[in-house]
Amino acid sequence: MPPKTVLVTGASEGGVGNALAIAFQKRGLHVFATARKVSKMANLAKLPNVTLLELDVTSRASIEAAATAIRSLDPALGGGDKLDILVNNSGQSYLAPLMDTPIPTMREIFDVNYFGLVETTQILGALVIAAKGTILNVSSLAAEIHAPWMGTYSASKAAVDKFSETLRLELIPLGVKVITLAMGQVKTNMSSGANVQAPKLSENSLWQVTKEEQARLDAGKKPTGGSSPEAFAKKVVSDVLGGASGRLHRGHIATTISLLFSILPGWAADKFLLFATKGQFELAPRT
């Protein structure tokens, strides 16, 4: 019997997608690990039952090429016209005041986080439907809260939430499960020192980065806390293979924060978020 198959987008080394690819491989699945550049997944190259594919979720041609590669692979090795699990993990973070975020930048974030996910699902979905499989859409706890400076990212993930939950209902008659994964903090390269960048503020911005935040950025320090990618991936893979469907909260204090914001009155939630983020930006001096 051929192995079950899973395709994971955004599987670059050091990220959640990479950890998920390894966790699925350890459970005996044939993994199609994808990233914009295969070289970004070098740590997966020698693992058995792993096929590395280039896939840029913002390029329809790239997504279609990945679908063709799956169909052309020997079914005995996990290829063919079926895909048991699709993991839409590709994403791009962004931190900046909304008034300073250029519209082209907002579109770029939505292209990766939302439209790329939708198009990947539309193109590869036929393979998942044929397998009566599972689609896992990696969203974020940020979609449930309105934290200052995260508006663009949060909005893109909120769009993912609505798409994913609606898709779940639409695909029930076809025997396909859809999971919306509200991810809490996980220690990955997305928030590591190597990837921490100062936000681009306009010359006449109302805001400036605080001295404390700038010192952290200059030192390349990553935020504290968070689940390990390995522990996070192991739990999520168990959820998927266990037949989960619907909304899941996984990662550092994801369930706690979600529950907290579901019961807090609006004014209390506002105070909490303002306090939690006050050390990042401050009003710029006006002349």
Three-state secondary structure call for residue 34: strand
Runs of H (alpha helix) within the chain: 16-26, 60-72, 103-110, 116-131, 151-171, 211-219, 229-241, 254-263, 266-277
How far apart (Å, rounded) are the C-alpha atoms in residues 130 and 108? 32
Q: Is 89 exposed, middle or buried (0-12, 13-18, 19+ CB in 10 A)?
A: buried
Sign (positive or negative) of CA dihedral 231, 94, 58, 128 = positive
To the query of whether residue 82 is one of the catalytic residues in this protein, the response is no
Say which amino acid occupies 140.
S
Say which amino acid occupies 231.
A
Catalytic residue among 40, 82, 157, 177: 157
To the query of whether residue 221 is one of the catalytic residues in this protein, the response is no
Contact 180, 164 (CB under 8 A): yes
Catalytic residue among 40, 82, 114, 153: 153
Residues noted as catalytic? 153, 157
